[in-house]
Amino acid sequence: MTARLERVAKAASTTAFGLSAAAVAFFLLAAAIVVGFLFWQTNNLLTNQVLGVLTAEARIMASEMKAGGRPKLAETVSAMSRLQGAGLYYLSDENGVKIAGNLNRIPPELVENARGGVFNYQPAGEAGNAHAHLAVAIPVELGPEVRLIVGRDIEDQRAFADSIRVAFLLGFGILSVAGLIGGLAVSRLILNRMDAITATSRSIIDGDLTRRIPTSGGNGELDKLAGNLNEMLDRIEGLMSGLREVSDNIAHDLKTPINRLRNSAEAALRDPRGAEAYREGLERTIEKSDELIKTFNALLLIARLEAGPLEDSVETFDLGRFVEDVTELYMPAAEEAGFALSIEAEKGVCVRANRQLIGQAVANLIDNAIKYSRAGEPGSAITVRAYRQNGRPAFSVGDHGPGIAAEDRERALKRFVRLEASRTQPGTGLGLSLVAAVARLHHGEVRLEDNHPGLKVVVLLSGKCLTSVLPGGVSTPSDVAAGVAAQ
């Protein structure tokens, strides 16, 4: 029972309850204004009606007085007083002695007020009944020798007003109670969902990153919120496991070369040849530390790219022209190394990206192609392409080397993964994962495909760019249309 009370108290203290209570209060206020206005209007109407009747009667009395003087008036008043109706009359002489009428005296409320007004009176027929009736009356000006008051019993009107008041209060009460109960119910409902979210986040805070918020499968805001939170948790979990992976890899792949560095320095110190050996040892040390720095830089860059979008370094440029440019940088070197590097660049493929990162990605791919395929053979052709695929800008580097087996392709994009076949080659093992990070940063993706034979790496980028804004770019209508469609 107390637990139940506690739950109600908790629900009552929630924001949802507060909001629904405020809504109920506001609604009640609005209802009160409307009902009050209606009541006032109706009352006015009825009162005006009564006043109209009274004025007409006063006019009749005045004409009677004119026709027959006081006796005639007294007769009429007596006759009208006898009618079973709502009419009330009081006629007296100049000294205040009653002559005729069904009121016993001038109502005290009207003595002071020369213009008439509302008063209570005791109906003659119900003397035993203590219930006073409400009435309204006006004095009629007929000369100095008589005082006449005509009035109307408005008890019915009061009864009407009373019943409206009762109905309103009852309605008010029912609305308040129903509103509060509804508010409590809604907030209990929300509270239950929130409790689930809170409990989940609590256990996540405590370290269980695999927990997810239950959703009801609907399309409501709470489900959307839960869905978004779950997606966020997925992302965090991914980042966390990435971080763990990185630290594991740093431990393994960075400590090993550091250890080799140390070993070679020690070996040089121990070398009996002396100065010459020291020099060689220092040279080796610098060389090895360069390699380490390279690995470290690549790691930092990947981490930076995965941390989120870069500020103000994104520009719009012609992807084809740029990829061609970067490829040309490599052409002489590739040629000397025995490769036939060629470029097929579609013109006017516009991209919004960080130029240097795209350059880095192209460079890594060409460098990989040179490193991992054999020179001088018929299979030494390396083809770089820049084109548009389904409206998205893309570039690819294809070689005819040993390629990557289909089952290893996904793994090859991961950090530090160096497939067994390539272990003997120099390199950080970060080249492809850097390309993947660059693609992800630009809302794109990397695909490893079979080049029959060899490997073809395709980098798809986001197409959010208009060819027409390309500096010096040729924009044909189809280009623009493709650019628009890509958005």
Partner 1 sequence: MASSGSPVNHTTGLPRRLDAVQLNSSSRDGQDQKNAMRVLVIEDDRETAQFLQKSLKENGHTADLAGDGEAGLALATDGAYDVLIVDRMLPLLDGLSVIKSLRAEGNRTPVLILSALGEVDDRVKGLRAGGDDYLTKPYAYSELLARVEALGRRTAPEEQQTRISVGDLVLDRLSHRVTRSGEHILLQPREYRLLEYLMQHAGQVVTRTMLLEHVWDYHFDPQTNVIDVHVSRLRAKIDKNFDKPLLHTVRGAGYTIRDGPT
- Residues lying near partner 1 in the complex (CB under 8 A): 279, 282-283, 286-287, 289-290, 293-294, 297, 300-301, 304-305, 310-313, 325-326, 328-330, 332-333, 335-337, 354, 356-357, 359-360, 363-364, 367, 370-371, 426, 431
Report the residue number, 367 or 450, with the smaller CB distance to partner 1. Answer: 367
Q: Which of 16/357 has CB closer to partner 1?
A: 357
Q: Residue 328 in contact with residue 343, Cβ under 8 Å? A: yes
What secondary structure letter does DSSP report for 138? Answer: E
**Closer residue to partner 1, CB minimum distance, 11 or 435:** 435
Q: Is 470 exposed, middle or buried (0-12, 13-18, 19+ CB in 10 A)?
A: buried
Read out DSSP for 444-473?
A: -EEEEEE-SSSEEEEEE------GGGSTT-
Rounded CA separation 66/139 (Å): 17
Residue appearing with tokens 């860059």:
301
Distant-in-sequence, close-in-space partners of 46: CB < 8 Å, separation ≥ 6 = 154, 157, 160
What phi, psi does 389 have (nearest 5°)?
-120, 115
Q: What is the smallest separation between the CB atom of 344 and partner 1, expressed in angstroms?
A: 20
Contact present, 403 and 364 (Cβ < 8 Å)? no
For 245, residues 6+ apart whose C-beta sits below 8 A from its C-beta are 414, 415
**Phi and psi angles of residue 79, each rounded to the nearest 5 degrees, phi first:** -60, -45
Q: What is the largest CA-CA distance in the chain?
A: 157
The answer to whether 438 and 359 have CB atoms below 8 angstroms apart is: no
Q: Cβ of residue 424: shortest distance to partner 1, in angstroms? A: 13
Nearest CA to 118 among 79, 173, 157?
A: 157
Nearer to partner 1, 94 or 315 (CB): 315
Taking the least distance from each CB to partner 1, the nearer of 65 and 436 is: 436
Nearer to partner 1, 51 or 314 (CB): 314
Q: Least separation, in Å, of the C-beta of 364 and partner 1?
A: 6
CB of 440 to partner 1, least distance (A): 14
Residue 308 CB, shortest distance to partner 1, in Å, is 12
CA distances from 342 to 20, 325, 336, 448 (A): 70, 12, 14, 19
- Alpha-helix runs per DSSP H in 83-106: none
Judged by beta carbon, residue 200 or residue 364, the one nearer partner 1 is 364
Q: How far is the CB of 441 from partner 1 (least distance, A)?
A: 10
Residue whose CB is less far from partner 1, 295 or 383: 295
From the CB of 2, what's the least distance to partner 1, in Å?
A: 59
**Which residues are registered as beta bridge partners of 447?**
458
Euclidean distance between CA atoms 143 and 141, whole angstroms: 6
For residue 252, the minimal CB distance to partner 1 (Å) is 22
Residue number, 213 or 358, with CB nearest to partner 1: 358
Query: Min. distance of Cβ 334 from partner 1 in angstroms?
Result: 8
**CA distance linking residue 361 with residue 336, whole number of Å:** 22
CB of 456 to partner 1, least distance (A): 19
CA distances from 275 to 281, 287, 337, 444 (A): 10, 18, 36, 54
- The one-character DSSP state at 351 is E
Q: What distance in Å separates the CA atoms of residue 341 and residue 400, rounded to the nearest whole number?
A: 11
CA distance 107 to 121: 7
CB of 338 to partner 1, least distance (A): 10
Strand partners, 449: 456
Q: Which is nearer to partner 1, 156 or 290 (CB)?
A: 290
Cβ(253)–Cβ(294) under 8 Å? no
| 45 vs 282, beta carbon nearer partner 1 | 282
Name the DSSP letter for residue 115.
T
**With the CA atoms of 359, 361, 366 and 368 taken in that order, what torsion angle do they form, in degrees rounded to the nearest 10?**
150
Nearest-approach distance from CB 289 to partner 1, in angstroms:
8
In the DSSP assignment, the letter for residue 312 is S
* Closer of 225 and 254 to partner 1 (Cβ): 254
